[in-house]
Chains A and B, each alone.
Chain A
Amino acid sequence: MNAPEKYSPLVTWPAKVNEIPKDIFFREDVYQLELENIFYGPEWHPVAHTGELPDIGDFKTINVGERPILIVRGDDGEIRTFYNACSHRGNLLETRVSGNAVEFECPYHRWLFDIRGDLRGAPGDDDFSPSYCKEELGVPTIRSAEYLGLIFVTCSDETPDLDSYLGRVKSALATTFNGDGRLRLLGYQKVLYDVNWKAYVDNDGYHAPLLHAAFKLLDWQGGKGEQYATENGHIGFESELKVPKGTDFLNDPCLLEFKGTESSKGSAIASTFPITVITKHMDMINIRFAFPRGVGKTEVHYGYYCHEDDDDEMIKHRIRQSSNMLGPTGLVSMEDASIFHRIHLGNHTPGNVTFQKGVKHEDRIWYDFKQNDEAGNLPRWEYYRKTLGFNREEA
């Protein structure tokens, strides 16, 4: 899409589309370019779901790349997005990760902002610079857009409108959010992985039945489904919902029950470029907000949600299932967390990594895949390469 014309000499990319150079996973210069061109470039980044901020004054803080962001529901009910920095000398405005505020006061020189972000008062302002204008010194805003309650921000004015940006992956998002996005927050699991952000998000369709012994032990086969990618680096998985058959090795199979209604397209994963993963498996609705903390660390906030129409029993079930199945301690995903650390260590070796499963071509990119193909990640790698301006070697 918005590949820069400029060629970057930092990295020469391998000729084959299924090969990725390993040094990009730990090089500081590459990371700085990624922050500039990707995290602060023309991409949309999910930062919150409206279900996390139900009441007036509710706020949340998070990062986009390394930039701190503040999201607030104003007294008019509107959700606004800001850089989390005082408009005076840039002090971090809100230090809490979430909460409810009636105003934001910067303690440094006591500038006071309301929950719409407007500056209400600045001590000693009769003595300020000639061009000082209170109306122009609200908390700095960041452009935002919303899809089914998911709030995205972008640092760039050039980012296309959200609808065309998401394209085909909207369908997986809709499945994940029960069609209407009327969600309520149940809580978070947060973890800081020792892994470069790209290796974290490069988790593939091939590994699932192999790494995760739970699938075999539970005789849990994926239902019929598809994996697809978009030209601008998003990946979608949508499949029939299948519940595990062999639950007798557990004493309490209630964890593995499906209590929802439809199951023809009951499982979905939407992975939006660059780093967000949104999933619905059985009755778990999960948004994985993530951001790099330097080249070798990735912080992930697994947010879990229920639907506004759920009854108490359904909510309890979702809490139980979400707490125990996913995240850094989850029955079917703890191993992913462990792999992130190992792959980061192993990537500090020379050469390229090679994708195999589902690779039909080595000289061009295509967009439809089988569920257990790792090749589904290749269009994203191609988009990444172009976005950073890395040239391919001659074949």
Chain B
Amino acid sequence: MSQLSNEILLALDNAQNSYIHALDTKNMDGWLASFTTDGSYICIAAENEANNLPIALMLDDCYARLQDRVTYVTKVWAGTFEDYQTRHFTQRISAEAMGNDTYKIITNYHILFTPEQGQTNVLVTGHYDDEIVLGDTPLFKSKKAVMDTNVSPRYIVYPV
């Protein structure tokens, strides 16, 4: 891995922080705004990933479907589920330049959830496999959330 400047690493971390902040504040427009307009998002169990099984939990492989995921959460599902608060914790593990201001970064994540009744538990844990483009605002060209938690402890409303 070539040495990246602190400035670049900071910009990459800022992108990740805005992403998780949008999710923890249930700001789905902010979530969408963290992707490029050719961006994609996939959330998949590590078991499927390891066995080359393509079924995901969320598979937004074009921008239109990223937009639709905002609609699912804010319009389709609103008022039908017992809500919960998430708290994402991340740690960057590696970052690598791919050219054209694009960087490939691997980040561990750990997400806790607190339902309305107040007891906190682990939602899922795993790693992000991301491509970030550094421009005026650093944005995700692709984000893949691979979940070690092959058996999730409940329904998942918000992206991971």
Contact = CB atoms under 8 A, between A and B. Distances in A.
A and B part of one assembly: yes
Interface of A: 97-98, 185-194, 211-214, 217, 249-252, 255, 299, 304, 319-320, 322-324, 327-329, 331, 334-335, 337-338, 341-342
Contact of A211 (B48, B56, B80, B154): B80
Interface in B62-93: 62, 64-65, 67-68, 71-72, 75-77, 80-82
B59 A192 contact: no
Given A213-B77, A335-B80, A252 B55 contact: no
Contacts of A189: 45, 55, 57
Contacts of A320: 59, 61
B34 to A, nearest CB: 18
Contacts of B152: 190-192, 328
B157 A334 contact: yes
B156 interface: yes
Given A98-B51, A190-B45, A251-B65, 18 more contacts: A187-B45, A188-B45, A189-B57, A190-B151, A191-B155, A192-B153, A213-B75, A251-B67, A252-B62, A319-B56, A323-B55, A324-B60, A329-B43, A329-B58, A331-B72, A334-B156, A335-B80, A341-B82
B122 interface: no
Nearest to B62: A252
A255 B65 contact: yes
A335 B65 contact: no
Q: How large is the interface on B (under 10, 10 to 19, 20 to 34, 35 or more residues)?
A: 35 or more
A193 B156 contact: no
Contacts of A217: 75-76
Given A217-B76, A328-B57, A328-B152, A252 B82 contact: no
B150 interface: yes
A308 B59 CA distance: 23
B57 A319 contact: no
Given A191-B151, A191-B152, A337-B154, A304 B55 contact: yes
A185 to B, nearest CB: 7
Nearest to A216: B76
Nearest to A185: B53
A362 B67 CA distance: 48
* List of 5 A-B pairs having minimum Cβ-Cβ separation, nearest first: A187-B55, A337-B155, A187-B53, A252-B64, A338-B81
Contact of B48 (A187, A194, A334, A338): A187
B90 to A, nearest CB: 20
B40 to A, nearest CB: 12
17 contacts: A185-B53, A188-B45, A188-B150, A192-B154, A194-B154, A212-B80, A213-B80, A217-B76, A252-B68, A323-B57, A328-B57, A328-B152, A331-B76, A334-B155, A335-B80, A338-B81, A342-B82
Contact of A322 (B45, B55, B156): B55
